[in-house]
Structure 1
Amino acid sequence: MNIDGYETYSTYKLTSYINASHAVRWEGGMGKEHMHTWAVICEIHVNNNQMVPFNQIENELKEVSSRVSGKFLNEVPPFDHVNPTLENLTTYFFQVITELLRRNNAVLTRLEIGESPTRFYCITLK
C-alpha cells in the first residue's frame, strides 16, 4: 500500500493470555514449579489486503492455547521432552500459529510471548 508517497505494510495484533506453570530443567536438575500468566501477542499480515476472519483466527488461537492453558508445561508435549523455557515456548507457538494462519491466507510476522510484564521473547519474520 502507498500512503502519501510512503510504502506501508499493514498488520493486525491479536493478544491473548495463558495461565500455565512450568519448571525449567537445568544441568543439575529441575527448578521449582511456578505459575505464569503468559501474554501472547501475534502480529499478523493478511495477504492481498483481504478482510481478516478475526473470529475464525481467534477461535483457532484459543484451540492452540487450550493445549497448555491451566497445565504444567513439563507434562504437555512437546515440553515433556523439550525444556519449557520462554524461548522454547515462543518457538513452538510460532511454528504452530504460522501453520494455522497459512490456512487463513495470513502470515504471522511477529510473535511476542511474555512471562511477566517486563520479560518477553520475540520472533520476527525477516
Structure 2
Amino acid sequence: MRWKGGEGKQHNHTWEIVCEIHTKGDHMIIFNDLEKAVTEILSQINGKFLNDLDYFKKINSSVENVTEYLFDQIGPELKKLEASLIRIEVGESPTRFYCITVDD
C-alpha cells in the first residue's frame, strides 16, 4: 500500500478467489475451458509484487482494487466462452474479503 509519506513493507498474500459464473441460454460450459481462461489471467499476477504491475502503479493494490482488476480481466474472457461473471469474491486473509456482484 502507498501512503502520502511512502509505501508499506512488501509482503505476501495467499489470495482466495471465488467466482459465480452463469452460462448464456442452454449453453453447456466446459470447466476445463473456464479454468484455463481464469488460470491464464491469474498467472499474470501470480508470484508478483502487485505494485510493480502497470495497473497498480497509480492505484493501491488493496483487496478492493485487486477484486475490480480481476473482475475486469475475467469477465471479458468468460464472455468469449458464452458465460457471465456474476459475482467475484477476493480475499487476502480469512477476515478480509471484497465482493462484486452484477445483475444477470
Q: What TM-score do the two structures reach when normalised by structure 1?
A: 0.78
Gaps of 5+ in 2: none
Could you list the runs of 4 or more consecutive aligned residues of structure 1 that deviate by over 2 angstroms after TM superposition?
A: none
Q: Could you tell me which of 22, 34, 43 is aligned with 2:11?
A: 34
Kindly name which structure, 1 or 2, has the bigger radius of gyration based on alpha carbons. Answer: 1
Distance 2:79 2:37 in 1: 12
Q: Match for residue 52 of structure 1?
A: 29
Q: Match for residue 69 of structure 2?
A: 92
| 1:69 maps onto 2:46 in alignment | yes
Q: What TM-score do the two structures reach when normalised by structure 2?
A: 0.93
Gaps of 5+ in 1: 1-23
Instruction: Give the partner amino acid of 1:36.
Output: H
Output one character per residue of 1:42-82: Cα deviation in whole Å (capped at 9) or x when no partner. Answer: 11000113211211110111110011101111111211232
Instruction: Give the partner amino acid of 1:111.
Output: I
**Root-mean-square deviation (Å):** 1.0
Q: Could you tell me which of 57, 75, 94 is aligned with 1:80?
A: 57
Distance 1:92 1:117 in 2: 20
The aligned runs of 1:115-126 (5 Å cut-off) are 115-126=92-103
Q: Match for residue 79 of structure 2?
A: 102
Distance 1:117 1:105, change over 3 A: same
Cα drift, residue 101 of structure 1: 0.7
Kindly indicate which of the two structures has a greater share of residues assigned to helix.
2
Distance 2:39 2:60 in 1: 23
Percent identity, please. Answer: 48
Which gives a bigger RCO, structure 1 or 2 (Cα 8 Å, sep 6+)?
2
Question: How many residues align structurally?
Answer: 103
